[in-house]
A and B are shown apart, each in its own frame.
Chain A
Amino acid sequence: MIDPYYLQQLAIGLSLGMTYALMAIGFTLIFGVLNVVNFAHGEIYTLGAFAGLVLISAVAPPIVAVIFGALAVGALAGFSLERLAFKPFRRFTDEASLKSRAMRESTLLSSLAVSIVVREALEILFGSEMRSLPFDYLINTPVRIGPVILVTGDFIIFGVAAAMLIGLQYLLTRTRIGLAIRAVSNNPLGAKYVGIDTDRTIITTFVVGSMMGAAAGILMGLYYGAIFPAMGFVPGIKAFVAMVMGGLSSIPGAVVCALILGVAESMATTFVSSGWSDMVAYAFLILTLIFFPNGLFGARRERV
Chain B
Amino acid sequence: MTKGAATMTVRLRTLSTLAAVLATTAIAGSALAADTVKLGYQLPLTGDTAQYGQDFRKAAEIALAEFNAAGKPFKVEIVFEDSRSDAKEGTNIARKFVDDKAIVGVLGDFTSGVSMAAAQVYKEAGLPQLSQTASHPDYAKISKYQFRNIATQAQEGPYNAKWMAAKGFKNIAVIAEQTDWGQSVVGGFSDAVKANGGAVAFSEFFNRGLKDYRSLISKIERAKPDAIYTGFFYEDGAQFLRQLQQLGVKTPVYSTSAAYSPKLIELAGDAAEGVHLTSNFLPTDPAPHIQHFVDEWKARSGGAVPGQFPAQAYDAVRIMLAAVEKASPNPTREKVRDALAQTKDFPGVTGKTTFNADREAEKELVKVEVKGGAFVPVAD
Binding site for B on A (CB under 8 A): 5, 8-9, 12-13, 15-16, 19, 120, 123, 127-130, 132, 135, 140, 142, 144, 149, 151, 224-226, 228, 230, 234, 265-266, 269-270, 273-275, 277-278
Contact = CB atoms under 8 A, between A and B. Distances in A.
A303 B47 CA distance: 40
B163 interface: no
Contacts of B235: 129-130, 226, 228
A269 B247 contact: no
B46 interface: yes
Interface stretch (B29-37, B119-127, B192-200, B214-222): B214-222
A12 to B, nearest CB: 4
Contacts of A129: 51, 235, 263
B209 interface: yes
B246 A274 contact: no
Contacts of A13: 215
A140 B242 contact: yes
A163 B51 CA distance: 37
B206 interface: yes
B211 A132 contact: no
B45 to A, nearest CB: 10
A265 B238 contact: no
Contacts of B222: 5
Interface residues of B, number: 35
A130 B238 contact: yes
Contact of A128 (B47, B205, B212, B269): B47
B239 interface: yes
8 contacts: A15-B214, A123-B46, A128-B49, A132-B238, A132-B266, A225-B267, A234-B211, A274-B215
B46 A12 contact: no
Contacts of A9: 215, 218
B207 interface: yes
Contact of A127 (B51, B206, B212, B247): B51
Contacts, number: 91
Given A130-B238, A132-B266, A132-B267, A149 B204 contact: no
A81 to B, nearest CB: 22
A13 to B, nearest CB: 7
B215 A12 contact: yes
B267 A269 contact: no
B62 to A, nearest CB: 18
A123 B175 CA distance: 30
B48 A128 contact: yes
A226 B238 contact: yes
Contacts of B329: none
A16 B212 contact: yes
B50 interface: yes
B50 A278 contact: no
Nearest to A153: B246
Given A127-B54, A274-B207, A275-B205, A265 B178 contact: no
B263 A266 contact: no
B210 interface: yes
Contacts of B71: none
Contact of A274 (B216, B266, B269): B216
Contact of B246 (A127, A142, A278): A142
| The 4 nearest A-B residue pairs measured at CB | A129-B51, A269-B215, A128-B50, A266-B215
Contacts of B51: 127-129
Contact of B219 (A16, A269, A278): A269
A226 B207 contact: no
Q: Considering residues B211, B238, B248, which has the most beta carbons from chain A within 10 angstroms of its beta carbon?
A: B211
Interface in B242-264: 242, 245-248, 263
A118 to B, nearest CB: 14
Contacts of B209: 234
B151 to A, nearest CB: 23
Contacts of A149: 246-248
Given A269-B215, A274-B207, 12 more contacts: A8-B218, A128-B46, A128-B48, A129-B51, A130-B235, A132-B238, A142-B248, A225-B242, A226-B235, A226-B238, A226-B267, A266-B214
Q: Considering residues B46, B178, B212, B216, which has the most beta carbons from chain A within 10 angstroms of its beta carbon?
A: B212
Contacts of B238: 130, 132, 225-226
A253 B90 CA distance: 44
Contacts of B46: 120, 123, 128
Interface in B328-376: none
Contacts of A270: 215, 219
A303 B215 CA distance: 38
Interface in B162-214: 175, 178, 204-207, 209-212, 214
A278 B207 contact: yes
B23 to A, nearest CB: 34
A123 B51 CA distance: 9
A269 B266 contact: no
